[in-house]
Amino acid sequence: MNAMAPRLTCAGPWQRVATGDDAVAVAERAALGTTARVAVWPPEDLGAACATVDDVLAVLDRQASRFRADSELSWLHAAGGGVFMLSDGLAEAVGVALAAARWTAGRTDPTVGEALISLGYDRDFAAIDQQCGEPPAMPAAVPGWRRVRLDGPLLRLPPGVRLDLGATAKGVGADRAVRAAISAAGHTGGVLVSLGGDIAVAGTPPREGWPVTVAEEPDPGGPPPPQLVRLADGAVATSSVTCRRWRRGGVMMHHIVDPRTGRPAGGPWRTASVAAATCAEANAAATAAIVAGGQAASWLTSEGLPARLVGHDGEVLCLGGWPGVSGRLIPVPAGNHVYVGTRSPGGPR
Amino acid sequence: MDADRGQARRDSIRNVRRMSNWTAAALVVGTGAAAVALAHHPFPAATQVPAAAGQAGGARTQTGGTTAGPQAASGPQVTHSVATTTASGVAVTTTTHTVNGKTVVTQVRNAPAYADN
């Protein structure tokens, strides 16, 4: 911890992180199977922001986790299909997932849940046997997002369809959390919330924007080096096939499923970082870019989204105004494709 | 009778013409005064078109406006990275310390991730 930093309290298991700047306060904790991080200015707002983010993430976990037997989503799956009246929060999360599927032309699809399970991703990633010798099962067919109907809070889920909101849920969580935190601060100062590297900001950013590192994990040990960019509004998210990998019978698996095949996505890009007005949109676009493969650049360009694509050979392609050099502001486009038909992002709890 | 009626009609037309002349003159004077006033008192700054986003650091994309821009100038100066966007679900803790005047950056991976390379 920075010795010069003011003494601040964090809610629960939040740990202060010293970044070298006393003008902002940063803390992080384990959450949703990954790490949540909060950065705020003025630093005195850190405790309230952390407590608010805790509340938001706890609610989201109870709504949308497919790894919790007591979550609302697991309850739907256990019922084996039917018509359900969802909570406002889960209705929003499912609505965003379906809107993202429509927007990305099915490159993200919330009905890949059964396919992910057949590939071996059937529990929290930390609990997966990552060297399982059993051969992978035949990938389960992806029913397709068009078979799921959502009318307000009313969901019609066909029997056997399991939802996985992984392409959008963390983005939804970051959107909700950052809006709740800036609201708790009385809309003064600025807040950044990161959920496993999917980042949303709200309020007034630091001068020149929030400094954010764009990196691959694990360290590729070669090009490209991490890049520092600045985010003044909106969100940025990264998807990659270089992590959350496991073996099944000698076959390497990863967590981004191509809905067209039910198998881990191939294609020329190993990592995609995308900026957008909301984190759910950035999250969906980054996953869609990996799945789109050779069509990723043209799709991202047509959508006007700033993006940084990293090929399997380490070559970097910057699109839509994504800065080619470190330290520059990402020009985040206005607009919204995934909260269409739902309440405002972060509204429903 | 007809002569009286004709005289009255001519008087009426004359009055209308006189009023029209006065009205036209008033309009000319009023328009001129308004132009002079506007020339000396332009619209207040608050009604001017907002400055381009690029002036405050936000660039404009090929497809439209940006949400980044005017806000970027009013917060504190922050130079070190506060978060890392990386592969979904894996977070990296970046800690920066200053040791003997040198900046030391430490990155720690938080979530378990497996890779074959």
User: Tell me: the pLDDT tens digits for A194-216?
Assistant: 999 999 999 999 999 999 999 98
d(CA A262, CA A141) in angstroms, rounded, equals 6
Residue A160, Cβ neighbours under 10 Å: how many? 14
Residue A68: per-residue pLDDT: 86
Strand, coil or helix: B67: coil
d(CA A300, CA A281) in angstroms, rounded, equals 12
Which range is least confidently modeled, A41-50, A258-267, A322-331? A258-267
Q: Which residue of B has its CA nearest to A167?
A: B88
- Residue with the bigger pLDDT between B28 and A59: it is A59
Strand, coil or helix: A85: strand
* Confidence label for A93 from pLDDT (cuts 50, 70 and 90): very high
Which range is least confidently modeled, A97-111, A258-272, B36-50? B36-50
* Confidence label for A344 from pLDDT (cuts 50, 70 and 90): very low
B89 and B76 Cβ atoms separated by less than 8 Å: no
Residue A349: per-residue pLDDT: 40
User: Which B positions 55-74 lie with beta carbon below 8 A of chain A?
Assistant: 57-69, 71-74
pTM: 0.74
Which of A172, A191, A213 is most worth mutating to test chain B (most B CB atoms within 10 A of its CB)?
A213
* Confidence label for A142 from pLDDT (cuts 50, 70 and 90): confident
Locate the DSSP E strands across chain A: 15-17, 25-31, 34-41, 82-85, 131-132, 149-151, 154-157, 190-195, 198-203, 210-214, 227-231, 235-240, 245-248, 251-254, 257-258, 263-264, 269-276, 307-311, 316-319, 328-329
User: Which B positions 86-105 lie with beta carbon below 8 A of chain A?
Assistant: 86-98, 103
Q: Which candidate from A126, A252, A320 shows the least CB-CB separation from B116? A: A252
- Residue with the bigger pLDDT between B47 and A22: it is A22
Measure the CA angle with vertex B77, ends B74 and B79; round to 5°.
Answer: 140
* Confidence label for B116 from pLDDT (cuts 50, 70 and 90): very low
Amino acid at B100: N
d(CA A117, CA A140) in angstroms, rounded, equals 8
Q: Is the pLDDT of residue A288 over 90?
A: yes
pLDDT tens digits, residue range A224-250? Answer: 899 999 999 999 999 988 866 655 666
Question: For chain A, first and last CA: distance in Å?
Answer: 34
* ipTM, interface predicted TM-score of the complex: 0.84
Residues A82, A88, A94, A98, CA torsion sign: positive
Residue A120: per-residue pLDDT: 62
Question: What are the structure tokens assigned to B7, written together?
Answer: 């005289």
Q: Which residue of A has its CA nearest to B105?
A: A19
CB contact under 8 A, B61 and A306: yes
Strand, coil or helix: B9: helix
Residues A281-296: what's their mean pLDDT? 95
Q: Is the pLDDT of residue A131 over 70?
A: no
Strand, coil or helix: A39: strand
Residue A265: per-residue pLDDT: 75
* Confidence label for A3 from pLDDT (cuts 50, 70 and 90): very low
CB contact under 8 A, B78 and A23: yes
Residue A10: per-residue pLDDT: 55
- Contacts B83 to A, Cβ<8 Å: 26, 37, 39, 192, 194, 197, 199, 210, 212-213
How close A334 comes to chain B (CA, Å)?
A: 5
Question: What are the structure tokens assigned to A346, written together?
Answer: 């972060």
pLDDT tens digits, residue range B67-88? Answer: 444 444 589 999 999 999 987 5
CB contact under 8 A, A238 and B115: no
Backbone angles phi, psi at A324, to 5 degrees: -85, -15
Q: Is the pLDDT of residue A23 over 60?
A: yes
Residues A313-333: what's their mean pLDDT? 95
CB contact under 8 A, A329 and B58: yes
